[in-house]
Amino acid sequence: MRKGIAVSPGVAVGTAYCIYEIFVNPDTKRLEDREVTAELAQYEYARDKTTDDLRALQKKVEAQVGHEQAAIFAVHETILRDAPFTKKVRDWVVHERMTAQAALHRLMAEYTQLFSRTKDEYLRDRLNDIRDVVVRISAHLSDVLKPETHALPGPLIVVADELLPSHVVALGDADVHGIVTQAGSQTSHAAIIARSRGIPAVSGVAGVLRQVKTGDTIIVDGRDGHVIVNPDSETKSAYHKLEREFVHLKDQLAENRDQPAVTADGVSLQLLANINGVADADASERMGAAGVGLFRTEYLYLTHPDVPDEEEQLDVYRRVVDACPGRDIVIRTLDIGGDKTMVYLGRNYRESNPFMGWRSIRLSFEHPEFFNTQIRAILRAAAYAKKQGGQIRILFPMITTLEEVRRLRSMVRKACKQLSDAGKSHVRPPVGMMLEVPAAALTVRDMLEACDFVSVGSNDLVQYLMAADRDNPKVSHLCQPLAPAVLRVLSEVIRACNEAKKPITVCGEMAGQPRSVVLLLGMGLRSFSMSSAFIPTIKDVAAHVSIAQAEQLAHRAMEFKTIAQVKRYLDTQLRRLAPNLAVLDIA
């Protein structure tokens, strides 16, 4: 048994499916003499396709972002055409009978060792450029995901270093029942993806890829953060029983899809969905979401082969509207940086603390024309949504000052004028701020004058309040949403918004966790946005709790001085109020 971080609740038993990148699992096959010519031809084909990719990407980025940002792809093409680079790969294929993939892996290892000796940051950044080129060639040589998922028995448990958006695209409709990652935290890509699909997941299991191979039997306990590899028959049987109970309870709860979200004393709640794309929007309707509280548009960029233009973005936004007819949809502008980077938006700009640096709205301000393209697409989608009987609202992430909100309103007005001049249908949507920076939380009453609504990003708010990087395993234990400091800040923010009669939603992971939801209810929150798989659970939790009970619980919890005291108290109260829901929360 291995212990990790519980990131998505439930239990799953299945067949391990290991995702190896080229650098982790190179092909060691030795070529036969007759295969050498074909291997060289395949390498040249991959190199030519990579050249085409880089030139197309350079042209598109230059048009949308700028000449300086596009220049990085000219550098990549120079690396690709570097004579020593190509000669080494060819020589190893011809003389040592290595596959092209194995030769690329060896080349990358050589460059890594060479560059590790230098303290020059510029040269160290060039290693990232070489890595990008190698990965692009590798992708044309073969898929990142090598095994055929349909050939593996039973449901799959994906095991990876970190589950990236590109991996999810490659997995397609594979029968994935669980996820285990070596890296990550409760707010990592893997965690967000797992919760959006409603499947159990554990992150932060160091070295698991060295201990598991594709085809092994593996158990994922997403409640306690346990992973068991090749269990004995008794253990396997016990966890199969827990898995059946988990699935049965989820199915039972899903039957409340068409029931209103109300507390035990009849107070109406708004349960919204966090989505990453059209598939999640479809799922939100099936789970009974009242609308979309957070559309994370960065996944549109992260999974796009180059740069999505205005028409491509508009098409996706319209498809989300079609998937949620007549619903309100909150579209958050690009929230990139920190753990999510794109090379053409400054990935090679070195920062000692990227989570508190040049990211999110700060990065968007740096590229106003690129940012304007997204704003225009959202305004045009808002007109489409209005025709369908719904409404689109635009949400700006990582707001720190009132000046930023005023600047953003000005940019929205400018985009409206551009669209009017071009004769394109559009609607100016309500403008909201994502509250995740402590400075904004402390001055929220001043900020509200420029905002139509507020969405609390509890994931970042917690890490900034606790001064702890949520993806750093040494300090991630401090990132606790039930910390007294977090609860006090949230209580004040919710009170301020309610007094100003400005709509407020919590759209971080707190919104989908039963213990947190009871507290937020007691603080006066009535709108929650979560992974759609959690909506039936939260609807059931609400049905077991009256507002008076929630207020009493919140008042008592706010008196405690430690996280442990808050957790113990809420665990006891939740078991009393809704005993069958313990399996659907994380420890």
Q: Which residues are catalytic, by number?
A: 189, 507
444: Cβ contacts below 8 Å, ≥ 6 apart:
435, 454, 492, 493, 496, 497
DSSP labels, 156-189: EEEEESS--HHHHHHHTT--EEEEEESS--TTSH
CA distances from 321 to 160, 196, 426, 532, 550 (A): 33, 18, 15, 16, 34
Q: Which H or E run includes 493?
A: helix 484-499
Q: Annotate 140-179 with b (16+ C-beta within 10 A) or e (fewer).
A: bbeebbeeebeebeebbbbbbbbbbbebbeebeebebbbb
Comparing C-alpha atoms, which of 347, 435, 421, 423 is closest to residue 383?
A: 423
DSSP 3-state percent helix, strand, coil across the chain (nearest 5): 55, 15, 30
User: Nearest 5°: phi and psi at 221?
Assistant: -110, 95
User: Nearest 5°: phi and psi at 452?
Assistant: -85, -25
Q: Which amino acid belongs to residue 584? A: L
Comparing C-alpha atoms, which of 344, 335, 358 is closest to residue 276?
A: 335
User: Nearest 5°: phi and psi at 526?
Assistant: -125, 0
Rounded distance between C-alpha atoms, residue 165 and residue 173, angstroms: 14
Q: Angle 189-197/278-286 helices, nearest 10 degrees?
A: 40
Are 553 and 523 spatial neighbours (Cβ–Cβ below 8 Å)?
no
Are 65 and 364 spatial neighbours (Cβ–Cβ below 8 Å)?
no
Q: Which amino acid belongs to residue 199? A: I
Rounded distance between C-alpha atoms, residue 554 and residue 413, angstroms: 41
